[in-house]
Amino acid sequence: MSAQNDVSRGLQCAIDAIDAANNDLRGLNKSIHEHPETAYQEFFAVDTISSFLQDKGFKVNKGTYDLETSFTAEVGSGDPLVIICVEYDALPNIGHACGHNLIMTSSIAAFLGAVKALQTCGFPGRIRLLGTPAEEGGGGKAKLIEAGAFKEGVAAAIMAHPFAGHQFKSEYTGLAGLKLIASHKFRVEFRGKAAHAAGEPWNGLNALDAAVAAYNGVSMLRQQMKPDERVHGVIEDGGTVPNVITAYTRMNWYVRGPTVKRADVLLERVQNCCKAAALAAGCEVNFLPSPTYKDLRVNLPLCQQYADDMDRLGEKILVKYDESYTASTDMGNVSYEVPSFHGAFPIPTKPGVSQHHPQFAAHAGTDEAHKAAIKCGKGLAMLAIRVLTDPKLVQEARKDFELMPQE
């Protein structure tokens, strides 16, 4: 049998394996959806996913790369190495309103399918499933990068994200080349001096005034911001009671731009608003940075291959969308380390409902959303097989990665 026939047999083998596991995957999807956990608290998710994989004969390592809620499962030997990234964290108060239960489903489906093809057809290389906690603000992939999770000659790192169906162009049923913007995240503390707000207010230094002035300063700054830049913040701690001058406040800010360099410029201006507010209120100011989310870079050879293979499933995938969605992901950081694929698949929602909307969580739990994740998982499995079996694709993806501008 020719090598081409082997690959074709492997692709069909992957699709069949995913179909065979569909009912089990639906149960896993439902369990994760019904037990939302926030950044670095995804203990139920990791235990449930690990048990699922172990029941299917895989060895799972939990707590990998010094993160309690990371895990790995790997099959094969030698090169190339494909990493399939898994997300499973949720948002505070609104659960899986970003659909990470569906990311988990598509990634694990892809792993099951690709592994079956590797084992059945004797393909070279390795497939590693990597649990990546805390995408929602915690920068889990940034910490995994620091710990060396992507240093080992990775040919490709792949995953996909659900979007509301109305966000796609009508003639397409998915997107391969998704561009997302960079995001700086930081908290800022203001420290003043408490005093009785009625009896001796002149003896106090009001940290709440500093927080309010900072918020208003940034609001005025928006007049000079470019259309593809975003700044948003909240007051996390605004004081205790009205009759005490507030001695401590804390704000949480996201500063986004289409590239890290553009976000750097905007970050300085936002932080200057905070410094000016502190000066005006006579307060001390302290910045607490979190991991930066880099912009997501599109690898065209990987995107084209995904689109071509999804075509055999009757899906019309847009290879690349030139405009950036003004959202961010720590998969952007991975795309600066290794050739990466981060596609998007549609799920049906009500008009006006998209990610981070409370109603999106309900849509993410439906049978229709699960079917979309499974179909995407088949595409990811086929992409993984292509990387394992096509040295030319690996070379083209590496070349495209190396030619990309740095930050």
pLDDT at 1: 47
400: alpha, beta or left? (left if phi > 0; alpha if psi -120 to 50): alpha
pLDDT-derived band at 171, boundaries 50, 70, 90: confident
What is the topology classification, in CATH, of domain 3-180+296-403? Aminopeptidase (3.40.630)
Parts of the chain belonging to CATH 3.40.630.10: 3-180+296-403
351: Cβ contacts below 8 Å, ≥ 6 apart: 166
Tens digits of per-residue pLDDT, 232-254?
999 999 999 999 999 999 999 99
pLDDT > 90 fraction of the chain, expressed in percent and rounded: 93
pTM of the model: 0.93
Q: For the chain, what is the mean pLDDT?
A: 96
SS3 75: strand
Q: Determine the Cα–Cα distance for residues 215 and 206; give it in Å rounded to an integer.
A: 15
Neighbour-count burial of 129, counting CB atoms closer than 10 A to its CB (0-12 exposed, 13-18 middle, 19+ buried)? buried
Q: Determine the Cα–Cα distance for residues 334 and 82; give it in Å rounded to an integer.
A: 13
pLDDT-derived band at 386, boundaries 50, 70, 90: very high
Check: CB of residue 104 under 8 Å from CB of residue 53.
no
Query: Edge to edge, what strands does the sheet with 71-77 contain?
Result: 61-62, 71-77, 125-131, 81-86, 154-164, 340-347, 174-177, 317-320
Q: What does the angle CA 317 – CA 320 – CA 326 come to, to the nearest 5 degrees?
A: 110
Q: Which segment of 77-91, 109-123, 158-172, 383-397 scores lowest on mean pLDDT?
A: 158-172
pLDDT-derived band at 2, boundaries 50, 70, 90: low
For residue 22, give both structure tokens: 């569909």
pLDDT at 168: 84
Tens digits of per-residue pLDDT, 295-310?
999 999 999 999 999 9
Beta strand 61-62 with 71-77 is antiparallel
Q: Tally Cβ neighbours within 10 Å of residue 58.
A: 16
Compute the average pLDDT of residues 136-148. Answer: 96
56: Cβ contacts below 8 Å, ≥ 6 apart: 21, 112
135: Cβ contacts below 8 Å, ≥ 6 apart: 39, 87, 89, 100, 141, 329, 330, 331
Torsion sign over Cα 143, 147, 149, 155: positive
Compute the average pLDDT of residues 363-384. Answer: 98
pLDDT at 249: 98
Residue 200 has pLDDT above 90, yes or no: yes
Parts of the chain belonging to CATH 3.30.70.360: 182-292
Phi first, then psi: give them for residue 175, nearest 5 degrees.
-135, 130
Compute the average pLDDT of residues 332-353. Answer: 96
Check: CB of residue 64 under 8 Å from CB of residue 143.
no
Q: Tally Cβ neighbours within 10 Å of residue 358.
A: 12
Residue 203 has pLDDT above 70, yes or no: yes
Q: Which segment of 2-16, 45-59, 176-190 scores lowest on mean pLDDT?
A: 2-16
CATH 3.40.50.800 fits 182-292, yes or no: no
| Peptide bond just before 301 cis, omega within 30 deg | no
